[in-house]
A and B are shown apart, each in its own frame.
Chain A
Amino acid sequence: MHKLIGMVATTVDIFNNLWSVFSTLGVIVGIVVISYMVYLIVRNRARGGAPEPEDSPKPGELPRERKGAKKLLLSVFLSASIVISLILLTFIALDNLDRPPADAMEVKVVAFQWGWKFYYPNGYEAVGELRIPRGTAVKFYVTSQDVFHNMGIIDLRFKIDAIPGKTNIGWTRVYQAGVYEIRCFELCGDGHGVMIGRLIAMEPEEFNSWYSSLQAS
């Protein structure tokens, strides 16, 4: 289900597949339940001399019991089966998210107040901008040198916490060449809103010549 035609899954596919299932079901369930409630209200609205229901609680009583266990358990069983199948789908998706592709390029990311530092496998260090070849998966080793940040590339449906003293691992893969925004998703101080970096996905040949020119220098 995560395979697009001929391509390996990306974090975007994994998210989008799951999102469409959840949002479809979510909207349906929401509409059904709320409409049912509105229907009951409209139908049972007291008009004129409508009689009191027989079992209406009388002043000074203890609460009356009103049966309904069967109906209720049935309804809960129904929603439980929806929710549980959603979670099973989640676990399948999670397996893919947790397993970075073997061919991934490894990049170390250090978040700081307020920006991003990137360390390439060859030791090259860049601030604010990360270049990668499109099509190749990238595996991030993310940490922070000061406070709690969160590295998110929302267009790639990628996000991971950047925590001082801890290195978290995540991956993504881009097929489309272009520029993607890297933003901080955890409040980290005054510059939180402008803690923006760029991920530049380049054509592989371009990337290779750029990357080897680094080694040369």
Chain B
Amino acid sequence: MESHILPPGSTVKRWLLTTNHKDVGILYLVTSLYFLVVGGALALLFRLQLAGPNLNVLSPSAFNQAVTVHGLIMVLFVISPLAFALANYIVPLQIGARDLAFPRLNALSYWLYLFGGVLVVISFFQQRTLDVGWTLYQPLSSAFSPYVGVNTGGLGLALLVASVTVSTVNFVVTIFRSRAKGLRLTALPMFTMCILLTVLMMLYAFPALLAGIIILASDRILGTVYFSSPEGGAILWDHIFWFFGHPEVYIVLFPALGVIADVLVTFSRRPLFARRIIIAAMVIVAGLSFLVWGHHMFLTGMHPDVRRAFTVTTIAISLPFDAIILSFIYTLVKSRIELKTPMLFALGSIAIFIIGGITGVFLGSIALDYVLRGTYFVVAHFHYTMAGGGLVGLVAGVYYWYPKMTGKMFNEKLGRLQFILTIIGFNMLYFPLFLSWEMPRRVPIYPENLIPLQQVATVGGFILGASFLVMFWNLLYSLKYGQPAGDNPWGAYTLEWMTKSPPPPHNFDGTPAFINGQLSFIAANGAAHGEPETHLSVWPFMLSLASFLSLLGLTTNLLFTLVGLGLLAFSVLGLAGERFISREEKIGERWPFESVDRMKLAWWTFIASEVMLFGVVLSAYVYVRTTSATWPAPGTFFDIAHGAVNTFILLTSSLTVVLALASARIGSRAGTAGFLAATLALGVAFLFNKYNEWSELFGHGITFSTNLPASTFFLTTGIHGAHVFAGLLAITYLLSRALRGAYAREGHETLEYFGYYWHFVDIVWVFIFPLFYLV
């Protein structure tokens, strides 16, 4: 079996091994719709509980579990993955690329996502799963929630974050480096533009979630006391979670805005109104989204000036949204509107989102939020924005691109039927929740006067659920019986429509380029020659399975972890040693990274996310230090000498890495291997010294749970140590190849990329040393 030919779609092999972006897109699509059913079923379950004021459908604990997992699944496992299903399939087509920059990493993202979801599902069968609200408030979800299921669910989230990080890197590199010639950044189709802004937000937001999950897991499993001590506790989590959480709400929204913009243009037959202003507004929103998290904390007793500042940023962020939505509406002026199913959903989504946006301004007014916080008003607001703006907008995208993905046209009548059911069900479900604004959220019982509102909502919930069944039926039925769609059934102008439906594995015959603003296909110069590209690899699946087993073992049987780690090592080596060909087109638009090749850009992007991770971990430390009344003086708790020696060791190792690279560049095999060996030795020395330091502390009875100084020290240096350890594994691999003569002849870039990582880890230590030992 040759790995550049895709096996037929009816084989298991194809779907397990594929790395082609269109296949991965389909996998994402099917999986996210599956999780939509899971999340939806949970929702209907608690809507049944709420069908009467005092029913006993669910126990209070089951109710909390259903609400919590519903929220997490919908936000993290449905909306974003659905968006990335479309992005996987469409973005490379829209920019004229042959695939994503790193096809195997793309498959890896998918499998990590799937296995993360599997962990969350497994957690249901371990006494109790997460039952603490999707916001995981502290200390409820640390010290006051002893259940294993919560750990498993949390580790599932960790896998999801890993998946997101990998795909973030991939999409950043792809969109910056693989655009067709003449496709400037500002001329990107709106969907791709929105995906770019989404992944940039993800790049900075998700490491905060990861840091939060790591700290939480460490509190729960190792016994550190970040969240159980009052100095850290509830407020520290609020800051970390919402620093992630607010950008996250735009992360789920932006792809839908992109779909809507593209659909509007296609079905109104007019250019987007004030397109450049929309883009500018989106850039502003993406940036500001990191400065508004405090509006989720208005009642925590924050300083009045801080509160005012967050009000101002919150209101400020609503204005660019205004501009975006109004431009969408103005686009319809003097247009010629065809109300096909995708257009209906796009317009419906805008109308619903308007209501969500207006009520957001209510919540941004602190004096109103004092009363509305924690009530059904908030629930209604975020469903109008996330479910209405986000999910309904993405449904428009599913219909819009369905003919491209399958080559078949869906049934228009069924599409309209779904639209009507969706709009009716949605508003019946969520509008009464605005009117229930006196009722606390996440509560299984309510006063009698709310019976009519809550019952209408429950009925609406079932109608909304039914509308999705109509969609599933339509998608499946049309796959078999739909009319052939043709290449460009909507008469759209963007590049994805300029190839066959469905497109061939390499997307376009010839290399697309925009010359003087007009598309032409120039003779394929790079692709025609040389070996064909690879489209199959087993390692993404194996790596994800290995990670899954390693994490599963932590909460079930450590045997799994052992097997998992073994498999992990095996798969990493397999991945590294595999011959996998994926080529970049020779010509293309790459501003501003013309001179940064794709590996380098990928490393930079990854390290940017690592900077955020350590930024949050160190901020958490600074936070608990400033809130703690007392803190041991330097030198009394931690031995400065240990820290100083380690600083010296690590800095020296940065130098040896540079020398290894220099030797490789001049072709010195011995020098390369020698300096790599020196780096390895220094790294080992660092960890050995660290080991001594920790055992001395343990010897004095100082452990993870002694107090905050100990907790923060062990966790921060522990995370850093884990990075050093990962680096040493990489050096071992590099060294083994260098001894056989690699890098000195060619491929010394690999050493350069490793160098970035290693220097970064050293720089982090340069922050840790003074912060923990000296001040």
A residues neighboring B (CB under 8 Å): 14-15, 18-19, 22-23, 26, 29-30, 33-34, 36-37, 40-41, 44-46, 50-53, 55-69, 71-73, 75-76, 79-80, 83-84, 86-87, 89-91, 93-94, 97-98, 113, 146-148, 150, 152, 154, 157-161, 163-169, 183-194
Contacts and interface: CB of A to CB of B under 8 A. Distances in A.
Contacts, number: 264
Contact of A148 (B234, B318, B332): B234
B274 interface: yes
Contacts of B98: none
Given A53-B334, A65-B271, A72-B326, 11 more contacts: A22-B362, A40-B333, A59-B488, A62-B183, A87-B315, A113-B144, A164-B233, A166-B235, A168-B299, A190-B61, A193-B440
Contacts of B275: 63, 65-66
Interface string B304-316: 1000100110010
Nearest to A42: B337
A33 to B, nearest CB: 6
B92 interface: no
8 closest Cβ contacts across the A-B interface? A165-B230, A185-B374, A60-B519, A168-B301, A57-B493, A93-B367, A193-B443, A66-B271
B501 to A, nearest CB: 14
Contact of A45 (B182, B276, B337): B337
Nearest to A12: B371
Q: Which of B189, B234, B334, B444 has the most CB of A within 10 A?
A: B234
B368 A22 contact: yes
Interface string B627-668: 000000000000000000000000000000000000000000
A53 B335 contact: yes
A26 B361 contact: yes
A72 B301 contact: no
Nearest to A72: B274
A66 B274 contact: yes
B322 A79 contact: yes
B347 A37 contact: yes
Contacts of A14: 367
A29 B438 CA distance: 24
B441 to A, nearest CB: 8
B416 interface: no
Contacts of B319: 76, 79-80, 83
7 contacts: A14-B367, A26-B361, A60-B495, A65-B276, A148-B137, A148-B140, A192-B440
A164 B326 CA distance: 44
B367 A15 contact: yes
A70 to B, nearest CB: 9
B500 interface: no
Given A19-B368, A26-B362, A161-B299, A63 B519 contact: no
B702 interface: no
Contact of B139 (A29, A51, A147, A190): A147
A150 B374 contact: yes
Interface in B432-491: 438, 440-445, 488, 491
Contact of B444 (A18, A19, A163, A193): A193
A142 B275 CA distance: 50
B132 interface: yes
Given A61-B519, A187-B132, A163 B234 contact: yes
B727 interface: no
Interface stretch (B197-205, B350-358, B396-404, B550-558): B350-358
Interface string B28-41: 00000000000000
B518 A61 contact: yes
Contacts of A113: 144
B693 interface: no
B498 interface: yes
Contacts of B132: 187
B270 interface: yes
Contacts of A185: 373-375, 440-441
Contacts of A184: 440
Contact of A58 (B274, B329, B374, B493): B493
A90 B139 contact: no
Given A18-B368, A76-B326, A90-B366, A60 B493 contact: yes
Interface of B: 60-61, 63-64, 132-133, 137-140, 144, 182-183, 187, 189-190, 229-231, 233-235, 265, 268-277, 299-301, 304, 308, 311-312, 315, 318-319, 322-323, 325-327, 329-339, 347, 350-351, 354-355, 358-359, 361-362, 364-368, 370-371, 373-375, 438, 440-445, 488, 491-493, 495, 497-498, 514, 517-519
A14 B367 CA distance: 8
Contacts of A183: 440
B315 to A, nearest CB: 5
B367 A18 contact: yes
B497 A90 contact: no
A169 B302 CA distance: 11
A48 to B, nearest CB: 11
A193 B49 CA distance: 13
Contact of A44 (B312, B318, B325, B336): B336
A29 B351 contact: no
A37 B514 contact: no
Contact of A40 (B230, B277, B329, B517): B329
A190 B187 CA distance: 53
Contact of A159 (B351, B361, B374): B374
B186 to A, nearest CB: 9
Contacts of A15: 367-368, 370-371
A147 B326 contact: no
Nearest to B445: A193
Contacts of B361: 22, 26, 83, 86
Contacts of A86: 361, 365
Contacts of A194: 60, 445
A80 B332 CA distance: 23
B367 A159 contact: no
A165 B231 contact: yes
A58 B355 CA distance: 34
Contacts of A56: 269-271, 336
A110 to B, nearest CB: 13
A90 B368 contact: yes
A59 B336 contact: no
B308 A91 contact: yes
Contacts of A190: 60-61, 64
A75 B269 CA distance: 23
Given A36-B329, A40-B332, A18 B365 contact: yes
A58 B440 CA distance: 52
Nearest to B140: A147
Nearest to B269: A56
Q: Which of B350, B445, B493 has the most CB of A within 10 A?
A: B493
A57 B491 CA distance: 9
Contacts of B138: 147-148
Contacts of A90: 311, 365-368
A164 B234 contact: yes
B300 A165 contact: no
B272 to A, nearest CB: 7
A159 B371 contact: yes
B271 A192 contact: no
Contacts of B187: 62-63
A75 B333 CA distance: 15
B337 to A, nearest CB: 5
B378 to A, nearest CB: 10
A193 B440 CA distance: 8
